[in-house]
């Protein structure tokens, strides 16, 4: 693997620059202290198995409670953390925290749930990524099959390098999901090379289903392709029953979205596990998907 570099610093416009470079620099400074000051925490969003109505897995989503600005969204600070290299210690903290939490749920007697953790591009270039994951699994004593890493495809790493890295990660016994599938630099050619377990259909495709025929066609195509490749497919960003209904008809078995739950705290996961299960059953019964 090539040494990790910080590409194209300040060279092109990013949405968070709209408030001004000065503001971004201030945020970056604060970001440097945020880890030591305990300002990060993780929320978890359930991924529901529509066949069983159970929470199959939860996705860990990092949050930053800034001392004066309040909540800063990850879409804003993750790219900054990437550019200044902070994503490496932050990513490690996120992974360790999520694995520890998965163990806590297990000890509380909750039914088995995988925990999905987002990896950012910078982490894919991290020299000791595989060792780090292995070490965290070892220290937290989490069964590797309960960890799923979410990656997004990117042009900056070539397919051979990426394939090798993913094989090394898979050898640890963990699962790999491709996040935001269909956006960015996703290409079909890597689907046959990469040892992946799951595709996550990006929210932008699902948003206008079932009203936009083009989006409908794309979503149906992704689901059927995933099934033929024997990949699990998760639809992200489901807010409406109509969307759910369309996905069920299309054969999608897993969904994640506000319809069933927003990202919530680990305590809320524990407390609402049963309620959520009931709500899923209720909705599926209404749709006459189950009797």
- List residues binding Mg ion (CB under 5 A): 118, 150, 179-180
Site string for ligand C2E, 215-244 (x = CB under 6 A): ---------------------xxxx-----
Piece of the chain touching ligand C2E by CB under 6 A; list 13-21, 138-146, 185-193, 254-262: 254-262
**Cα–Cα distance for residue pair 24/143, rounded to 1 Å:** 39
> How far is the C-alpha of 12 from the C-alpha of 117, rounded, in Å?
28
CB under 6 A: which stretch of 72-80, 130-138, 211-219, 268-276 binds ligand C2E? 72-80
Residue 263's binding partner, choosing from ligand C2E, Mg ion, none, with beta-carbon cut-off 5 to 8 A by kind?
ligand C2E
CB of 118 to Mg ion, least distance (A): 4
Binding to ligand C2E (CB under 6 A): which residues in 112-171?
118, 120, 150
**Distance of alpha carbon 166 from alpha carbon 124, whole angstroms:** 9
Q: How far is the CB of 291 from Mg ion (least distance, A)?
A: 33
Q: CA 221, 223, 226 angle in degrees (round to 5)?
A: 105
Q: Which is nearer to ligand C2E, 237 or 250 (CB)?
A: 237
Q: How far is the CB of 46 from ligand C2E (least distance, A)?
A: 10
- Residue 105's Cβ-count burial label (10 Å; 0-12, 13-18, 19+) is buried
With 0-12 / 13-18 / 19 or more C-beta atoms within 10 angstroms meaning exposed / middle / buried, residue 244 is: buried
- When CB distances are held under 5 to 8 angstroms depending on the partner's kind, the choice from Mg ion, ligand C2E, none that residue 237 binds is ligand C2E
Binding window for ligand C2E (CB under 6 A); candidates: 8-16, 30-38, 73-81, 269-277: 73-81
Residue with tokens 């620099």: 25
Residue 148 binds which entry of ligand C2E, Mg ion, none, with Cβ cut-offs from 5 to 8 Å by kind?
Answer: none
Q: Which stretch binds ligand C2E (CB under 6 A): 74-82, 129-137, 190-198, 213-221?
A: 74-82
Please say which residue, 93 or 273, places its beta carbon nearer to ligand C2E. Answer: 93
Contact 276, 265 (CB under 8 A): no
Closest CA to 130 of 174, 102, 165: 165
Between 179 and 253, CB nearer to ligand C2E:
179
Q: Are 211 and 253 in contact (CB under 8 A)?
A: no
For 224, counting Cβ atoms within 10 Å of its Cβ (0-12 exposed, 13-18 middle, 19+ buried), the class is middle
198 versus 284: smaller Cβ distance to Mg ion: 198
Helices (H), the chain: 21-34, 74-84, 87-107, 121-124, 129-140, 159-170, 189-193, 203-206, 213-228, 241-249, 266-286
**Contact indicator for 123, 165 with CB cutoff of 8 Å:** no
Instruction: By CB under 6 A, tell whether 62 contacts ligand C2E.
Output: yes
DSSP string, 103-130: HHHHHTTPPP-EEEEE--HHHHT-TTHH
From the list Mg ion, ligand C2E, none, partner contacted by residue 76 (C-beta under 5 to 8 A by kind):
none
Q: Closest CB to Mg ion among 75 and 160?
A: 75
- Interface contacts to ligand C2E, rule CB under 6 A: 45, 60-62, 73-75, 78, 94, 118, 120, 150, 179-180, 203, 236-239, 256-258, 263
């Amino acid at each position: 693997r090539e040494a990790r570099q910080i590409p194209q610093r300040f060279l092109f416009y990013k949405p968070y620059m709209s408030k001004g470079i000065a503001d971004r620099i201030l945020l970056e400074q604060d970001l440097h202290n945020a880890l030591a000051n305990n300002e990060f925490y993780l929320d978890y969003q359930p991924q529901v198995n529509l066949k069983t109505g159970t929470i199959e897995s939860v996705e860990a989503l990092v949050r930053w409670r800034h001392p004066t600005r309040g909540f800063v969204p990850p879409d804003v600070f993750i790219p900054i953390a990437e550019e200044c290299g902070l994503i490496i210690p932050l990513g490690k903290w996120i992974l360790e925290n999520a694995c520890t939490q998965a163990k806590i749920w297990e000890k509380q007697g909750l039914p088995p749930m995988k925990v999905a953790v987002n990896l950012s591009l910078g982490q894919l270039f991290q020299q000791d990524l595989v060792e780090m994951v292995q070490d965290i699994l070892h220290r937290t004593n989490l069964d590797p099959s309960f960890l799923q890493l979410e990656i997004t495809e990117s042009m900056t790493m070539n397919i051979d390098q990426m394939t090798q890295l993913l094989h090394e990660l898979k050898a640890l016994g963990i699962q790999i999901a491709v996040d935001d599938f269909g956006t960015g630099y996703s290409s079909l050619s890597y689907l046959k090379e990469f040892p992946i377990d799951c595709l996550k259909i990006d929210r932008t495709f699902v948003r206008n289903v079932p009203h936009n025929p083009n989006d409908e066609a794309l979503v149906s195509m992704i689901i059927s392709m995933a099934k033929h490749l024997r990949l699990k497919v998760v639809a992200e960003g489901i807010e409406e029953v109509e969307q759910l209904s369309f996905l069920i008809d299309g054969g999608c078995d897993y969904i994640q979205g506000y319809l069933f739950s927003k990202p919530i705290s680990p305590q809320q996961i524990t407390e609402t596990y049963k309620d959520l299960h009931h709500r899923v059953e209720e909705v599926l019964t209404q749709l006459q998907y189950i009797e």
